[in-house]
Structure 1
Amino acid sequence: MEVTSFHPDADRRDRRDERAAYAQVGIPVYLVIDRDEDMLTVHSDPEDGMYRRSVSYAHGKTVTLPAPVGITLDTEKLKDYAH
């Protein structure tokens, strides 16, 4: 899981570089909580150094993470920490 920072390089580092690095080593599920966009994105199914599936949800939604994680998250409280 990654929570984006408010650092000027956050877009490149948090949203692209780390996602690529995790996919390359086969991390099966990568969750990004984006405080700037008030959403979270679930990346899954890594193959050939890239995630084949990425689904975004607004803060406040209930999200079930894919296997092997398989847990359900209530993201309502994330609204309190955005921006």
Structure 2
Amino acid sequence: MIATAIGRTLTFEEIPASVVREQMSNFVPLAIVDAVLNRLAESVGGPAEVSGAVRELTGRAPLTFDEWVADHLPDFR
């Protein structure tokens, strides 16, 4: 969706968890790094969690991803 909005081809490069762990551990305690990485790994292949938090906190409907991209186009250019 971002690529379409900015008219460019974008690629995705996955960084190995071991590299992320090493880099994050420079700024965050390892227990937190491991908890974050484990949670991310558990979410792979599963459905996204949906909550009503945006509406409850802001009083408005959440944006779709396309709407969010459109609002942030200058950030991607």
**Fold shared by both chains (TM-score > 0.5):** no
* Greater helix proportion: 2
- Max Rg structure: 2
TM norm structure 1: 0.27
* Greater strand proportion: 1
Larger RCO, structures 1/2 (Cα 8 Å, 6+ apart): 2
